[in-house]
Amino acid sequence: MRAHALHALAAKDWAAKLLAVEALDTGARLDTEAVLEPPAVLPGRPERPELVAHTKIRTRSVRTTQGRAILIHALAHIEFNAINLALDIVWRFPGMPDPFYREWLVVAREEAYHFDLLRQHLESLGHAYGDFPAHPGLWNMAEKTRGDVLARLALVPRTLEARGLDASPLVREKLAQAGDAHGAGILDIILRDEIGHVAVGNRWYRHVCRERGLEPVATYADLQARHEAPRLKGPFNLAARRAAGFDEAEIEALLAG
């Protein structure tokens, strides 16, 4: 199963990746100790979109069709990266308990579903995935944390993906106010599912902290500084964060900055 996740991660064409993810069997035989050899280039991705620095990403008013397309494209790119991140954590880190891998495969499937919803909506706006530039920020953090499962759990699901919990209501409101009820509905689905995804990250982060005898809040601050993760700024969706398993000590540290 972990080898199949690596195969899906390496798929370059988005359609091939979606098919590979759909074919993953969460009940398949699992070798938790296998050390797998990756291809030279990961993750697999199509030639487009062009990847540029986030400062070069242009936005337009979502009250225009073009502006909504640019926004939906950016969201689709985030979900495409989220597929890759879930697949990467499955193959890359041996020695975790069996449920760890199976839970992240379920996450990969849900991320693929989100991407396809956004991709289809983008097509209804007259565009395709790849039509606009995108930035590589999410995968950059995966590269920084590739040597330590604790750092990966701390700084991808619990940091970058948790930022989506904060941002989703604001983006949803923009789309709703612009008359894009379908896009707003997709954001509702994504927020619902992402609460569960961040909860998976929280659960396994605490599991590894317990195994290593580490205190979660102080360890998070140390990992955030060591890997130069972005400092989180409000407004925060505290209800969603609590639903995703952040405890009050973590919320207090978040609000203290």
What are the structural domains, with CATH classification, of the chain?
2-256 (1.20.1260)
Distance CA 53, CA 76 (A): 17
97: its two tokens: 């308990």
DSSP state of 26: T
Euclidean distance between CA atoms 149 and 107, whole angstroms = 17
For residue 93 the two structure tokens come to 């880190």
**Contact at 8 Å (CB) between 152 and 100?**
no
- Measured CA to CA in angstroms, residue 67 lies from 62, 80, 122, 125, 171 at distances of 4, 20, 11, 10, 13
Q: Convert 15-35 to b/e letters by CB count within 10 Å (16 or more is b).
A: eebbebbeebeeeeebeeeee
Give me the tens of pLDDT residue by residue for the chain, a chain 257 residues long: 999 999 999 999 999 999 999 999 888 889 999 999 999 899 999 999 999 987 778 788 899 999 999 999 999 999 999 999 999 999 999 999 999 999 999 999 999 999 999 999 999 999 999 999 998 878 999 999 999 999 999 999 999 999 999 999 999 999 999 999 999 999 999 999 999 999 999 999 999 999 999 999 999 999 999 999 988 899 999 999 999 999 999 999 999 98
pTM of the entire predicted model:
0.96
Angle between helices 14-23 and 65-92 in degrees, nearest 10 = 50
* Dihedral in degrees, nearest 10, Cα atoms 103, 111, 157, 196: -60
